[in-house]
């Protein structure tokens, strides 16, 4: 016969705490007051017999308890009215209400005070449920207890006005079905999965154990809610499932053939079953398994004790996430009271799915920040970030030693710089270490992620000081890029660059870790353009290498494009002999400059303006005057266009006679319009005309 004992068998924490408290009082010989249990402390005849034999009396109502008694409140909890009665009777209360149950009381109390109706999934009349419902007494809200999804239809108030909680020992399977039915009807933050994590894990283990067994023994009382749930789960998966209360019942099952010698037997016990009874049952079935199972159970209880002793300030412990409210996330750390973590720690971690963690009762490693004892119980403040911070500090120190860059999230500004965080650890970045040049406004960096090199990791004087530099990281990266560019650079090679600064003589452009100069003459085909007319700092532009010197580390870049040149394809656009229209833009002694297009001027020599000899062009022309002329010459190398007004329609001074054979004016439709280019007549030509 193979016997497998479920790991989660036996007393849950709440029951064990209550029984241990009662045992301690019973052992105190100096305690002379009447010792009272308000209701059976546990659904187990052996335990109750031992406690009553040690002097305890059991009362079902607080009103019946004698004045001045020492009263133990069991794990199920009681109503506020019963506590009030005990206080009026000057009784000393040892409140052993399970922390999971106590939490439900607080949820219901707060919700009812805020006008929310209450739905409790559980057993009507069960002491735990009675205590939970009583928290809403006097608030005027409705309270309903249901045990099936169908009962939701019988409620006399809308679901949207209610919260949903559960008895700690209720079936997690049924509760999930009820949750599915109220989805989108009750707000998500008003549905509280308050089933005890121990109960839920016990039920899951019961399901898997019973599926793998030939027969199953569920040890516990038929009056115990959680034991009955275990029996239902196992019975649904293994026909030969038996509810027993002692080892003597095992003998009968074996004798009558209900359990066979070759069976694989699963054993699971309810939360009210003492360890001793579990061991007796196992020993009765298989003497050879005695030590193995005893060692297993002893180990489990030893682990529980060890876990309790670990919950101290500064300790790093593991726990299971059970629930959350607007301010805190609650974690079962195997102590009488649950620990709580600020919800902000989870909200700052976008990769952590809190809803899924609560549903799965996910395990989390936490650090105990503080433990405070008060009349309301023990308050355990935990931190997930502190554990992450310890890991983060180790990683930062390693990055400092190895000069490895790390990414930090900028969270706030300080007087002279920024504060970034890496896995919960603050890193200071001075304003001079953000980038090259002066940083006047720090605010835009908040919310960004900067890659930094850790430049300081100081643990002296008991305080950790860490500094980082984004500027150093950028410089290191630029050095790598610079080396790569200088190894591959060649004339004519094109780069996409960023304008870093503008000066009178041009623009400095970063082509990837190296700055090159685009001379003002390379920015535009227009002679009079300023760098600031064409570009602005931060512009991304396409440039090409005109020349470079590896020794001096200087690069000359080109920017203007051939197709933007006003003289590009000029002989096709404005051929010799074409008629053009333009505006006089400048007058000199030797002629007039006429703008044909933006940045494209042509020279009309003084001899080509009038049929009469002119002393100077302004005798017949003025700036801004529109004229029609014929193209007589194009010199693309010297970037010069010559035109003749006289060849179309000479402009003579007033009072002079027109020539006998005037030049015929070209029809308007034959006069083409040119593209922009500007140039002046060279000095040599000026002297010739003079």
- pLDDT tens by residue, 292-338: 444 454 444 444 444 444 677 778 888 899 888 888 999 888 776 78
Domain 403-474 of CATH type 2.40.50.140: yes
Other beta carbons less than 10 A from residue 482's beta carbon? 17
Helix, strand or coil, per DSSP, at residue 78: coil
pLDDT tens-place string over residues 442-457: 999 999 999 999 999 8
CA-to-CA distance for 141 and 343, rounded, in angstroms?
29
At residue 287, what are phi and psi to the nearest 5 degrees? -60, -35
Of 599, 583, 605, 584, nearest in space to 686 by CA: 605
Domain 197-303 of CATH type 3.40.1010.20: yes
CA-to-CA distance for 430 and 416, rounded, in angstroms?
6
Assess whether pLDDT exceeds 90 at residue 199. Answer: no
Confidence of residue 609 (pLDDT cuts 50, 70, 90): very high
Confidence of residue 668 (pLDDT cuts 50, 70, 90): very low
128 is catalytic: yes
The distance of Cα 116 from the centroid of its chain, to the nearest Å, equals 32
CB of 266 closer than 8 Å to CB of 216: yes
**Which of the pair, 285 or 684, is modelled with greater confidence?**
285
Joined tokens for residue 150: 């169908």
CA-to-CA distance for 557 and 508, rounded, in angstroms?
9
CA-to-CA distance for 642 and 633, rounded, in angstroms?
5
CA-to-CA distance for 297 and 487, rounded, in angstroms?
71
Please return the burial class of 164, using the count of CB atoms within 10 Å of its CB with bins 0-12, 13-18 and 19+: buried
pLDDT tens-place string over residues 452-510: 999 998 876 667 889 999 998 988 888 888 888 888 888 888 888 899 888 888 889 98
Bridge partners (DSSP) listed for residue 542: 496
**Which of the pair, 650 or 257, is modelled with greater confidence?**
650
Q: Where are the domains of the chain?
A: 2-95, 99-190, 197-303, 311-386, 403-474, 489-560, 570-689
pLDDT value for 674: 44
pLDDT value for 41: 86
Assess whether pLDDT exceeds 80 at residue 619. Answer: yes
Percent of the chain with pLDDT over 70: 90
Question: Which of the following is catalytic: 128, 289, 345, 388?
Answer: 128
The distance of Cα 61 from the centroid of its chain, to the nearest Å, equals 51
Look up the CATH number of domain 99-190: 3.40.1010.20
Assess whether pLDDT exceeds 70 at residue 673. Answer: no
DSSP assigned state of 416 = T
Other beta carbons less than 10 A from residue 501's beta carbon? 13
Give me the mean pLDDT over the 61-65 stretch.
Answer: 93
CB of 630 closer than 8 Å to CB of 564: no
CA-to-CA distance for 643 and 264, rounded, in angstroms?
113
Joined tokens for residue 97: 């209400």
CB of 379 closer than 8 Å to CB of 418: no
Fold of 2-95: Rossmann fold (3.40.50)
Helix, strand or coil, per DSSP, at residue 571: helix
pLDDT value for 659: 52
Give me the mean pLDDT over the 192-216 stretch.
Answer: 85
The domain at 570-689 falls in which architecture? Answer: Beta Barrel (2.40)
CATH class of residue range 489-560: mainly beta
**The CATH number, out of the four listed (3.40.1160.10, 2.40.50.140, 1.20.210.10, 3.40.50.300), of the domain defined by the range 311-386:** 2.40.50.140
DSSP assigned state of 218 = E
Please return the burial class of 678, using the count of CB atoms within 10 Å of its CB with bins 0-12, 13-18 and 19+: buried
Q: Tokens 């600031």 identify what position? A: 532
Strands, E assignment, 273-362? 316-324, 328-332, 339-342
Confidence of residue 602 (pLDDT cuts 50, 70, 90): very high
Is it true that 2-95 and 403-474 share their CATH fold? no
Q: Which of 302-316, 355-369, 609-623 has the lowest mean pLDDT?
A: 302-316
Contacts of 162 (CB under 8 A, 6+ apart): 116, 117, 118, 119, 142, 155, 186, 190
pLDDT averaged over every residue in the chain? 84
CA-to-CA distance for 75 and 83, rounded, in angstroms?
14
pLDDT value for 145: 95
Confidence of residue 661 (pLDDT cuts 50, 70, 90): very low
Joined tokens for residue 192: 């509280």
CB of 269 closer than 8 Å to CB of 278: yes
Assess whether pLDDT exceeds 90 at residue 2. Answer: no
Assess whether pLDDT exceeds 80 at residue 681. Answer: no
CA-to-CA distance for 436 and 508, rounded, in angstroms?
15
CA-to-CA distance for 628 and 636, rounded, in angstroms?
22
Give me the mean pLDDT over the 40-47 stretch.
Answer: 82
Assess whether pLDDT exceeds 50 at residue 669. Answer: no
Q: Which of 24-33, 148-157, 219-228 has the lowest mean pLDDT?
A: 219-228
């Amino acid at each position: 016969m193979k016997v497998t004992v479920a790991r989660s068998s036996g007393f849950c924490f709440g029951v064990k705490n209550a029984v241990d408290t009662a045992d301690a009082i019973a052992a105190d010989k100096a305690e002379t007051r009447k010792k009272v249990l308000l209701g059976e402390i546990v659904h187990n005849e052996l335990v109750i017999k031992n406690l009553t034999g040690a002097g305890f009396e059991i009362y079902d109502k607080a009103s019946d308890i004698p004045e001045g008694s020492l009263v133990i409140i069991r794990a199920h909890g009681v109503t506020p009215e019963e506590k009030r009665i005990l206080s009026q009777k000057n009784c000393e209360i040892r409140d052993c209400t399970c922390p999971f149950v106590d939490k439900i009381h607080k949820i219901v109390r707060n919700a009812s005070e805020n006008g929310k109706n209450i739905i409790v999934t559980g057993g009507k009349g069960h002491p735990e449920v009675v205590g939970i419902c009583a928290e809403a007494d006097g608030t005027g809200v409705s309270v309903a207890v249901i045990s099936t999804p169908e009962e939701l239809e019988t409620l006399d108030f809308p679901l949207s006005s209610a919260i949903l909680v559960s008895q700690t020992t209720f079936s997690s399977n049924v509760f999930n079905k009820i949750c599915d039915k109220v989805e989108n009807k009750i707000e998500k933050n008003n549905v509280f999965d308050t089933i005890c994590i121990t109960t839920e894990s016990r039920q899951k283990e019961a399901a898997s154990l019973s599926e793998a067994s030939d027969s199953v023994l569920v040890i516990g009382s038929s009056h115990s809610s959680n034991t009955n749930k275990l029996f239902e789960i196992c019975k649904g998966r293994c026909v030969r499932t038996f509810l027993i209360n002692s080892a003597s019942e095992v003998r009968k099952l074996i004798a009558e053939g209900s359990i066979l010698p070759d069976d694989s037997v699963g054993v699971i016990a309810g939360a009210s079953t003492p360890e001793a009874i579990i061991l007796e049952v196992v020993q009765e079935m298989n003497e050879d398994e005695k030590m193995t199972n005893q060692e297993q159970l002893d180990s489990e209880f030893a682990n529980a004790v060890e876990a309790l002793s670990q919950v101290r300030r500064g300790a790093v412990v593991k726990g299971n996430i059970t629930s959350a409210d607007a301010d805190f996330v609650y974690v079962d750390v195997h102590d009488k009271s649950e620990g709580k973590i600020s919800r902000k720690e989870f909200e700052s971690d976008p990769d952590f799915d809190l809803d899924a963690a609560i549903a799965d009762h996910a395990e989390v490693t936490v650090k105990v920040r503080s433990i405070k004892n008060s009349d309301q119980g023990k308050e355990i403040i935990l931190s997930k970030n502190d554990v992450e911070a310890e890991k983060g500090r180790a990683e930062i120190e390693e990055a400092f030693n190895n000069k490895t860059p790390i990414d930090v999230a900028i969270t706030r500004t300080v007087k002279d710089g920024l504060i970034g965080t890496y896995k919960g650890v603050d890193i200071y970045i001075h304003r001079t270490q953000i980038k090259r040049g002066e940083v006047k406004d720090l605010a835009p960096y908040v919310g960004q992620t900067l890659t930094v090199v850790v430049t300081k990791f100081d643990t002296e004087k008991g305080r950790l000081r860490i500094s980082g530099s984004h500027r150093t990281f950028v410089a290191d990266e630029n050095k790598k890029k610079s080396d790569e560019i200088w190894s591959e650079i060649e004339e004519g090679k094109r780069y996409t660059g960023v304008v870093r600064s503008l000066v009178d003589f041009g623009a400095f452009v970063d082509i990837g870790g190296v700055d090159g100069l685009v001379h003002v003459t390379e920015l535009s085909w227009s002679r009079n353009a300023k760098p600031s007319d064409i570009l602005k700092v931060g512009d991304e532009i396409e440039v090409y290498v005109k020349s470079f010197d590896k020794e001096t580390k200087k690069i000359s870049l080109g920017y203007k494009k051939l197709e933007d040149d006003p003289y590009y394809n000029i002989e096709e656009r404005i051929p010799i002999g074409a008629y053009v229209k333009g505006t006089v833009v400048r007058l000199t002694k030797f002629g007039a400059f006429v703008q044909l297009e933006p940045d494209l001027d042509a020279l009309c020599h003084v001899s080509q303006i009038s049929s009469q000899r002119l002393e100077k062009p302004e005798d017949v022309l003025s700036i801004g005057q529109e004229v029609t002329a014929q193209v007589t010459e194009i010199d693309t190398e010297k970037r010069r266009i010559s035109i003749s007004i006289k060849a179309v329609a000479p402009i003579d001074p007033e009072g002079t006679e027109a020539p006998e054979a005037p030049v015929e004016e070209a029809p308007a439709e034959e006069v083409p319009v040119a593209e922009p280019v500007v140039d002046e007549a060279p000095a040599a030509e000026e002297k010739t005309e003079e």
